[in-house]
Structure formats: C-alpha cells, structure tokens
Structure 1
Amino acid sequence: MSILSNKVEREELAPGDHIYSWRSAYIYAHHGIYVGDGMVIHFTRAAGQEIGTGTVLDQFLFSSSPSNSGTPCEKCGDQSNLHGVITSCLDCFLAGGNLYLFSYSVTPTFFLAKARGGTCTLAPSDPPNIVLHRAKYLLDNNGFGMYCLFKNNCEDFAIYCKTGLLVETTFSVGRSGQISSVLAAITSIMSSPLRFLTTSASGLMVVASGMYCVSRYVSDIGIRRDANKIPVETLVAQLCQGVPQTMAT
C-alpha cells in the first residue's frame, strides 16, 4: 500500500479485507467487507434516501446503494431499494468505480501523509475469521442500527467489522475517517484562534494545515479514548432492545 494510492486489483483481495470505491467524482467513498467468492457485505441506504441531511451535502450526495440502470444484476437482482446491511457482488458494490483497500495499523507518519480521510487508520485489524464473523452476523440480523451519515455510515460499519470498536458517546462523530476529515477541515478554517496566530496568507495556510492534521489524528479510532471493544452479539442484542448503538458499552 503506497502513500499515493490504495488501489488494488481484484485478485489481490482476501476474505475479511475492508474495501472501498470512490463515488460522485471522488466526493465520497462507499465501504464494505470483502467476504470471498466475489461478494461484499456493506451497510447502505436505499436509493434517494441519503438526501435530506439538511446540509449542502444534499446537493452532492447520492445513495451508495447498488443501483441497476436497465437489466438487474444476475447475481444480486435489483438492490436499489434495499437498505441496512446487505450483500452484493463486487461489480454492484463498485458501481463502475475502481477498487481500493483500506489500511490498518498504519504509522502516524503514514496516516498524516494520507491527507484525505477514509483511507487508513492507526487501529489494528482483528484476524480475518473474526472480521468475517462480525460482518456475517450483522448481515444475518441486519444489526447495525439506523444509517446516519455523520455517526453511523458505511465506513463506520466496515471499521467496526475490522476492529470491534464502537464510540461510547452520542455527542461525537462515529469512526468514519471521511467525516472526521471534513470536520477537521471545517475546524481548521473556521477556528477563531487562527486570526491571532498569523497575519500572512502563507502563515495562515501553515496554521490551518497543522490544525487539520491534529484534528484528523486525534479523531482516529486507533487512539480515541471514547471507543470500546464490543462483541457483535452484544451490539445486536442491545440494538434489538432499543439501546443506541453509540452507547452499547
């Protein structure tokens, strides 16, 4: 895996890999767990249901649910109206995009060098058999709760399958590096101390870049103090009882 690209070929995949594919001209990526035999388990909303976040994102984001324009996939059928934890063939999951492999146990230097979030984490991955057990258990029980772009999205699902980590508090974002990087960028631009630290454009850029890197780093699931390891059976049982996913401790 290089700093420049996480792109891989299909024959390089192994069951239990966390994969993703960029959508909408690289605005965001869709994530899932490769389970072998050309199939992927992933977490999604039905077509058209991601619109309504109440933000400018509504103008750009479209459902990452597999859609079929024309003839439905011979393996999957028409999945455009499915939501929750589903399984799709690799072609439907990629939706015409390229294939990328999410990296685990990266060094802080590598993490910060990957300026775009949602591609790697400092957290270690569990063994493939445990990852596959979590993914399949959540698939069988549709057990990952309600989809939420900012707290419980497809990347959060894949990271949980790989690590078993859940965030305790309901007052922070989930495990998604994509969302963390967006919020880090907003923080670095909007934070009021910036205007006191420098008066030059170049100085402002340096300070903003530094704040962006720090914000991304401290929000990574690999070092967050509000993340606990939760067995998948416990997660599903508590969700069935109506306990919010982020409080399932």
Structure 2
Amino acid sequence: MAIPMLSKSSVLLRPKAILIETVIGTTATVIISVAKENVLPNASWQRKAPVAGDHIRVKRYGGVYCHHGIYVGNNKVVHLAPMSGSEVKDNHQSVVHETTLENFLRGGQLEVRCYSEEELKVKHSADRIVKDAYRCIGIKNYSFVFNNCEHFASWCVTGKAQSRQVEVVKTSLKPCFA
C-alpha cells in the first residue's frame, strides 16, 4: 500500500509534547508526549568542541526535538533545514546547505555524537563524512518521516539514513493503531 501524500501538515510545539495536526481527507489530531530525556534513546552525546566529521545536534524548544548536522570544520555546519525561518514551520523549504556553527546553534548547547565500539565499525572516516555532506548541498527532498536532518546526518556518518526521533514517534503512535 502506498503512503498517501499529505495535503496539509502543521506542527505546534509545547514543552514535553508535540501536537501534530494532519489533514488527509479528515482532520486527525494526535498528542505525543515525549519526555525530554527519551528524545534519542540508546544514543550517547557529549558537550564538547566538535572536530570535522562530527555528527552534532542542538536541542530545540527545551528538548522537545533536536536539530542535527555535520560539523565540517572552521565553525561551519552542513545541515538539512530552511535557509531562513523555522525548522518546524518552514520545513517544506528545507535544503541541505552550509551555515555557521553560531547560526546552527541559535543560542543552544552543542552536543557531539559519541559512538559505541560496535557503531565505530560502520562509521565512515571524518574526511568521507565531510565530503558526503558537501556532496548533498542543494538537495531539497525533506520529509519528517523519511528524510529529515537526523536522517541526513546519520547517512553522512554511516551510510544509513536513520532518525531515532522518528522511531520514538512511531513507537508512541503504535498503540493508537493496534
């Protein structure tokens, strides 16, 4: 079965909750409670200075969600986001582009992804991560579920597009459709 294209999608963020209103013929409203500490389960993050090739993130709206990118050196980040405006309200305008670390953080606290021994086996070299990030500049194919900023960053690092944030949402929604 094909996934239907959404005709309208709006997201209103509240502390510890996301209100998603989606119209597919009729309006359905779903509230997903997301505890701040469970936004990215089973992942290790540290507050430290990044080096080129690091997968970085910054928490938004008090930790309701995180924005991800690849630190490419010289205080620059390549990420999937709108060129201006809100990552949430303007996500349909998202494009992979380079920005300053300051602009990426927007006053938030930088965190660097740390990898387990097992994860290090599939992690690409820093040089390849940076090259892959730069190769994607200009790509505009944003999808919250299939191609968001975290998918982009994890693909650059491991070759596999994954989003733990999406998995948390999918897991939270499962009981609604059981």
Q: TM-score when scaled to structure 1?
A: 0.48
Which of 142, 158, 165 in structure 1 is aligned with 2:160? 165
Which of 134, 138, 163 in structure 1 is aligned with 2:132? 134
Whether 2:173 is the aligned partner of 1:186: answer yes
Which ranges of structure 1 fall in alignment gaps of 5 or more residues?
Answer: 51-60, 65-81, 108-120, 167-174, 193-249
Which of 115, 118, 131 in structure 2 is aligned with 1:104? 115
Summarize the alignment of residues 8-157 of structure 1 with structure 2, pairs less than 5 Å apart: 8-10=47-49, 13-47=50-84, 61-63=88-90, 83-105=94-116, 124-139=122-137, 142-143=138-139, 145-157=140-152
Once residues 62 and 123 of structure 1 are traced to their aligned partners in structure 2, the CA distance between those partners, rounded to angstroms, is: 37
> Which residue in 2 is equivalent to 1:71?
none
- State the percentage of identical aligned residues: 31
Kindly name which structure, 1 or 2, has the bigger radius of gyration based on alpha carbons: 1
Aligned partners of 1:41 and 1:87 also within 8 Å: yes
Q: TM-score when scaled to structure 2?
A: 0.65
Secondary structure of the residue aligned to 1:6 is strand
| Structure number with higher strand proportion | 2
| Structure number with higher helix proportion | 1
The change in CA–CA distance for 1:22 and 1:15 in structure 2 (over 3 A counts) is same
Which ranges of structure 2 fall in alignment gaps of 5 or more residues?
Answer: 1-41
> Which residue in 2 is equivalent to 1:197?
none
Once residues 153 and 159 of structure 2 are traced to their aligned partners in structure 1, the CA distance between those partners, rounded to angstroms, is: 10
Read off the aligned partner of 2:100 and give its amino acid letter: C
Once residues 86 and 105 of structure 2 are traced to their aligned partners in structure 1, the CA distance between those partners, rounded to angstroms, is: 19
Once residues 108 and 86 of structure 2 are traced to their aligned partners in structure 1, the CA distance between those partners, rounded to angstroms, is: 21
